[in-house]
Amino acid sequence: MNLDFITVLVNVSILMMLGIPGYAFRKNKMIGEGGAKPLVVLLIYVTQPFLIIMSFQSKKYTPDILSSIGAVFFMSVAIHIVLLLAGRLVFNKRLCSDKAKRGVFIFASAFSNCGYMGIPVIRALFGSSPLLSEMLIYVSVYIAVFNIVNWTVGIYIISGEKKYMSVKNALINPITFSLLIAVPLFFSGVSVEDFSPSLADAFKMLGDMTTPLSMTILGIKLAEMPLREIFNEKPVYLSVFIKLILMPLIMLAALNLFFGAAGGAIKYTLAISAAMPVATITVANAERFGGDGKTAAKCMLCSTILSVVTIPLICLLL
């Protein structure tokens, strides 16, 4: 599939434009402080789970997809671990003496906004492709790995305290529950549409809300910090470079090594997921577990703005 720079740039730019209402409403105080929180709850607990369930419903099970899911799981774990280790080497005490900031930079370098932006970008670029349903299955696996690593190694990186690491939260969350519903139905060939077409349509409509809701949340977040403050700290650029350029390049190299030209949906999904900006949850983790919340917001917002250009550049290599 040909993902030329201009086509991807236009699609990503249009996607970002969906965040304009959220940005405008927050700037004009029509949405108050903390106004994004109920939207985040709706996204995490309703729209994303239904999107995952219906993504599995739109693809018929074949024996080869099981090994593909295993490969996606392994590659997703590997890229998170490799980038966290690289972040620890780069953001040492000499470069960043502030422990609270250092943990944020390391975390931000490795964790992608695969849920809020990964799914919308994949749907924008592959909306008419027969690969879409398979890619949404793979990105669901990537998000599940994200949650596991976030609640264990990731929380430790930000807090420096093992007591905050939670296997329970890593395994019991809305994404896991949605997979526990979707995967058995997928393997058994049970279709919601066969049971009730109207119910399937309702579930699909809830899942389709994920993209506009994600972009609205990002628009609100962008409005909450003056632009001049986003770009005034040099280590932020280094963290963003690792996240937007180095991480997808490492992922692409690994994908080419293991799959060559036969990667198809796996290659597109993992490379694009890795190319997403810093995860929104970086801010929440920093504020909750003793990191520097303002630095986390800078990394997230700076990477989101710059990703409009870097995502098309990475797509040129696919």
- Range with the poorest average pLDDT among 9-23, 53-67, 75-89, 142-156: 53-67
Tally of structural domains, the chain: 1
Output the pLDDT for position 318: 84
Nearest Cα neighbor of 233 from 95, 61, 112 is: 95
**Radius of gyration for the alpha carbons in the chain, expressed in angstroms and rounded:** 19
For residue 262, the model assigns a pLDDT of 60
Please report which confidence band the pLDDT of residue 1 belongs to, taking 50, 70 and 90 as the band edges. low
CA 256/CA 221 separation, integer angstroms: 35
Give pLDDT tens digits for 188-202.
889 998 889 999 999
CA distance 84 to 79: 8
How far is Cα 18 from Cα 298, in angstroms, rounded to an integer?
21
Burial class of 274 by CB neighbour count within 10 A (0 to 12, 13 to 18, 19+): buried
At 145-174, the pLDDT tens digits run 998 999 899 999 998 888 888 888 888 888
pTM of the complete model beyond 0.85:
yes
Find, among 181, 213, 217, the residue nearest to 55 by Cα: 181
Residue 284: CA atoms inside 13 Å, Cβ hemisphere, count?
A: 10
CATH number at residue 166: 1.20.1530
Give pLDDT tens digits for 24-48.
Answer: 999 999 998 888 888 888 988 999 8
Percent of residues, the chain, with pLDDT higher than 90:
44
Grade residue 106 by pLDDT with cuts at 50, 70 and 90.
very high
Identify the domain containing residue 155 by its residue range: 5-315
The string of pLDDT tens digits covering residues 45-63 is: 999 899 889 988 888 888 8
Give the separation between CA 106 and CA 237, rounded to whole angstroms.
13
pLDDT band of 99, cuts 50, 70, 90: confident
Per-residue pLDDT, 53: 92
Q: Using one digit for the tens of pLDDT, what is the confidence trace for 296-306? A: 889 988 999 99
The encoded tokens of residue 78 equal: 């590997």
Among the listed ranges 94-98, 188-192, 250-254, which one has the minimum average pLDDT value? 94-98
